[in-house]
C-alpha cells in the first residue's frame, strides 16, 4: 500500500469518527470540529499554488486538517508547525500524524497560540491556517500579520458559519491595502487573504 493510500484511509476514518463523535458530544472540548473534506482539498491546492514550505496551523484538534496541510507541504519539502492547547487532542493528533507517516513533516506545539505567535520570527511562515479561538483573532491580528511572510497566504475557517464572531477581524484585513482577500463558499466558509509581495 502506498503512503497516499494509507493517508486516504486515515482521512476517511477520521471523517467518520469526527461526525459520529461530534453528534454524540455537546461539550465543545470533547468535539473534534474538523474542517470539511473540500476545505482540505482547498488548503492543499492553495499550498501547491503558493509553493508554501513554512506552514503554521493554529488549532490542531485531532490532526485531521494537519494531515491535509502536511501531505501538501511534504511534496514541496516543507514543514508544518501546528498549535493545540488541549493535551488530549494534542495526543490524538500525534497518533494520527504518526499513523500517516508524516511525523517528520509536522512539528506539534502544545501551547497557547497567542504565545506561539508572540515567539515566532517576523515573516517566518508563508501560509497560515487559522481554525481556533475565534474570540482571539482580532487580538492576534498584529502578530499574525507580522509572522506572515510577504506574499504569504492566510486562510481562516468558519468565516461564513461564524461570520458575526469575526466580522471586525475580517474587516481589519479588508481595510489593509497590503492584503487582497475573498470569502469562498467552501466548507464552513473560507476567508483567504494574500499579503502583497515585499
Ligand X SMILES: C[S@@+](CC[C@H](N)C(=O)[O-])C[C@H]1O[C@@H](n2cnc3c(N)ncnc32)[C@H](O)[C@@H]1O
Rounded to a whole number of angstroms, the minimum distance from the CB of residue 149 to ligand X is 21
| 37 vs 50 by CB, closer to ligand X | 37
3-state DSSP assignment of residue 17: helix
| 22 vs 176 by CB, closer to ligand X | 22
| 30 vs 180 by CB, closer to ligand X | 30
Rounded to a whole number of angstroms, the minimum distance from the CB of residue 103 to ligand X is 17
Rounded to a whole number of angstroms, the minimum distance from the CB of residue 59 to ligand X is 3
Task: Please state, as a whole number, how many other Cβ atoms lie within 10 Å of the Cβ of residue 179.
Answer: 16
| 71 vs 89 by CB, closer to ligand X | 89
* Contact present, 37 and 14 (Cβ < 8 Å): no
3-state DSSP assignment of residue 192: strand
Going edge to edge, which strands form the sheet with 125-130?
106-110, 79-84, 54-58, 125-130, 148-156, 190-195, 179-184
Binding site for ligand X (CB under 6 A): 33-35, 59, 61, 64-65, 83-86, 89, 112-114, 131-133
Q: CA-CA distance, 185 to 159, in Å (whole number)?
A: 9
Grid cell 485531532 in the structure block, residue: 62
Rounded to a whole number of angstroms, the minimum distance from the CB of residue 146 to ligand X is 17
Amino acid at each position: 500500500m502506498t503512503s497516499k493510500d494509507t493517508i486516504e484511509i486515515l482521512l476517511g476514518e477520521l471523517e467518520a469518527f469526527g461526525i459520529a463523535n461530534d453528534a454524540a458530544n455537546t461539550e465543545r472540548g470533547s468535539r473534534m470540529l474538523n474542517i470539511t473534506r473540500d476545505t482540505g482539498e482547498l488548503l492543499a491546492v492553495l499550498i501547491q499554488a503558493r509553493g508554501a514550505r513554512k506552514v503554521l496551523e493554529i488549532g490542531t484538534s485531532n490532526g485531521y486538517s494537519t494531515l491535509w496541510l502536511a501531505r501538501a507541504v511534504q511534496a514541496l519539502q516543507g514543514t508544518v508547525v501546528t498549535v493545540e492547547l488541549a493535551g488530549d487532542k494534542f495526543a490524538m493528533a500525534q497518533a494520527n500524524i504518526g499513523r500517516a507517516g508524516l511525523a517528520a513533516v509536522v512539528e506539534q506545539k502544545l501551547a497557547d497560540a497567542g504565545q506561539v505567535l508572540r515567539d515566532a520570527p517576523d515573516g517566518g511562515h508563508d501560509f497560515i491556517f487559522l481554525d481556533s479561538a475565534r474570540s482571539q483573532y482580532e487580538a492576534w491580528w498584529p502578530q499574525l500579520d507580522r509572522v506572515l511572510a510577504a506574499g504569504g497566504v492566510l486562510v481562516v475557517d468558519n468565516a461564513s458559519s461564524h461570520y458575526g464572531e469575526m466580522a471586525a477581524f475580517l474587516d481589519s484585513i479588508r481595510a489593509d491595502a497590503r492584503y487582497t482577500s475573498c470569502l469562498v463558499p467552501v466548507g464552513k466558509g473560507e476567508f483567504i487573504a494574500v499579503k502583497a509581495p515585499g
